[in-house]
Amino acid sequence: MPLVIGSAGLATDTIQWALWARQMQRAADSDALAGVYGKLAGQTADVGTCSASVPVNRNHTTSNVVARLGMTPTCNIVAADSPWNGASYKAVKVTLSASRLLPFSGFFRSTPPTITTSATAAVVSSGKYCVRALMNTTGTGISFSGNPTVNLGCGMHTNAKGSTAVDATGSPTITASPMAAVGLIDGTTNFPSSTIFQPYSPSLDDPFATQTATAPVVPNGCNQPALQGNQHSVSASNGTFCYTSLFLNGSGDTATFTDATIILNGGNLTVNAGGVLNCTRCTFVMTNAAQGQTAAGTAPGTISINGNATVTMTAPTSGTYKDIVIYKDRRATNSCNNCNQINGNSSSTITGAIYAPTQEVQFSGDGGLNTNCLQLVGWTVTFTGNSSINNNCPSGGPSAFDATMVRLVA
């Protein structure tokens, strides 16, 4: 009987010990995460006692484990030899200790055993993305249909929610990793086996929101007639130039811009087969506003770059529109269909960002577009038809967007 009672008592103590340790580990994990989020918000995570004012302790005192086990968190400096030691990681290590007598073995010992747990949280990379779909409602942010070939050499991310946040139907060939969404990713069989899928990922901010926070202004006196057709040629450099639209309709239609901002006020950017557009360190700004004003802008023109056109575009390396080759005014309504179509071919090269934060961007047709570190940001992004994109990143110039997330690392 003593043996049976002793075995039952020790089993009870083991279960109780494991339960306390699990509860404490969960509390330490939560405290460490709270500390990192606090640092990201500009707050302080004290080293040592974790004073009552810091996010670690504020989170800790809301846990019912505290009242039962009487723990006090200790905020530690992440060790110098730790891989998470560095300002960019904003790492926080939390240690918890509690001394409690166990129900059975407490009869045989005068001092209670001490349980100690620790957790370290940090800001870590979640991938490099060159395509961002900003749609943040239930629906599809990134879609593939038909037989497109998409070879990006970087990842895609959408803030869309729901079961088809990324929807790959038809027979696409997609090389893009990681593939991330706030919601679910449908049609994963169309991706290589090496693709990293990240459903239920944190949402990401608009990478150009701060840069383009000020609405485009059409300068007074800057409103020239449309450039269109009739085998015309235009060349401009070093400044801001305004046209109602740009229409390169065929052979002999050529436009060359260098170190320029080209405002298309209310009209379209169209490059048809045979047209030639050269844009070196320049940005097309699509808006619709009265001269000297920013009150309008809701109905800019459409973008149509068609197959068999020759398009060479590189983004500015500094200034308001750094890294952006085409910007669609963020005040534009998203009630447009096929209003931003890219159907380039192997004669076309784009280096920089196509940025339409409130509208769809669609790659379609039979083109084979070459891009150098393409940055693509739209409300939604669609790849359809037999389109193809081959994306390469030479040294210098734009690069994929770095994304981070807060997670436990130890």
Per-residue model confidence as pLDDT tens digits over 366-401? 656 666 677 889 999 998 877 667 666 554 445 678
Check if the beta carbon of residue 134 is closer than 8 Å to that of residue 357. Answer: yes
- Residue-averaged pLDDT of the chain: 82
Which pLDDT belongs to residue 181?
93
Check if the beta carbon of residue 24 is closer than 8 Å to that of residue 69. Answer: yes
Which pLDDT belongs to residue 16?
74
Chain centroid to CA 68: 42
Q: Which is more confident, 379 or 104?
A: 379
In 3D, which of 142, 214, 159, 207 has the Cα closest to residue 352? 207
63 contacts: CB under 8 Å, gap ≥ 6: 27, 30
Q: Average of pLDDT values for 326-335?
A: 87
Q: Average of pLDDT values for 170-193?
A: 85
Both tokens of 361, joined, read 């961007």
E strand or H helix at 36:
helix 2-40
Which pLDDT belongs to residue 396?
47
Query: Of 115-124, 129-138, 349-358, 380-389, which gets the smallest average pLDDT?
Result: 380-389
Q: What is the pLDDT of residues 20-49, one digit of tens each?
A: 888 889 888 988 898 888 888 888 766 676
Q: What is the pLDDT of residues 237-288, one digit of tens each?
A: 999 998 888 888 877 788 999 999 999 988 899 998 888 999 999 999 998 8
Task: Tell whether the model's pLDDT for residue 188 goes beyond 70.
Answer: yes
What sign does the dihedral 16-21-26-30 (CA atoms) show?
positive
Burial 375-410 (b: 16+ CB within 10 A, else e): bbbbbbbbbbbebbbbbebeeeebebbebbebeebe
Characterize the bridge pairing of strands 303-305 and 269-271. Answer: parallel
- Which residue has 């494991």 as its token pair? 18
Check if the beta carbon of residue 176 is closer than 8 Å to that of residue 152. Answer: yes
- Which residue has 């929101």 as its token pair? 209
What are the boundaries of each domain within the chain? 2-112, 127-403
pLDDT band for position 108 (cuts 50, 70, 90)? low
Q: What whole-number percentage of the chain has pLDDT above 90? A: 22
Query: Of 92-96, 162-166, 294-298, 340-344, which gets the smallest average pLDDT?
Result: 294-298
E-assigned strand segments in 28-113: 74-76, 92-99
Task: Tell whether the model's pLDDT for residue 102 goes beyond 80.
Answer: no
Which pLDDT belongs to residue 249?
83
pLDDT band for position 15 (cuts 50, 70, 90)? confident
Query: Of 67-76, 150-159, 223-232, 277-286, which gets the smallest average pLDDT?
Result: 223-232
In 3D, which of 289, 282, 287 has the Cα closest to residue 269? 287
Q: Average of pLDDT values for 57-68?
A: 72
Q: Which is more confident, 193 or 11?
A: 193
Question: 70 to each of 20, 45, 59, 64, how far by Cα in Å?
Answer: 12, 21, 15, 10
159 contacts: CB under 8 Å, gap ≥ 6: 133, 134, 135, 136, 141, 181, 182, 203, 204
Both tokens of 309, joined, read 């056109």
- Which residue has 């960019």 as its token pair? 88
Task: Tell whether the model's pLDDT for residue 6 goes beyond 60.
Answer: no
Omega of the bond leading into 178 within 30 degrees of 0 (cis): yes
Chain centroid to CA 76: 31
Instruction: Give the up-direction half-sphere exposure of residue 167: CA atoms within 13 A in the CB hemisphere.
Output: 18
Q: Which is more confident, 134 or 217?
A: 134
Which pLDDT belongs to residue 43?
82
- CA atoms of 351 and 349, how far apart (whole Å): 7
Q: Got the DSSP string for 205-254?
A: --TTTTTT-SPP-B-TT--BPPEESTT-EEEEEEEEEEES-EEE-STT-E
Check if the beta carbon of residue 47 is closer than 8 Å to that of residue 77. Answer: yes
Q: Average of pLDDT values for 81-108?
A: 77
pLDDT band for position 11 (cuts 50, 70, 90)? low
Which pLDDT belongs to residue 121?
92
Surface-to-core class of residue 337, CB atoms within 10 Å of its CB (0-12 exposed, 13-18 middle, 19+ buried) = exposed
Chain centroid to CA 159: 8
E-assigned strand segments in 20-81: 74-76
Q: Which spans in 41-171 are helix H?
A: 55-60, 64-69
Which pLDDT belongs to residue 395?
46
- Which residue has 């963020």 as its token pair? 330
Query: Of 145-149, 157-161, 212-216, which gets the smallest average pLDDT?
Result: 145-149
Q: What are phi and psi of 11, to 5 degrees?
A: -65, -40
Both tokens of 303, joined, read 């973008």
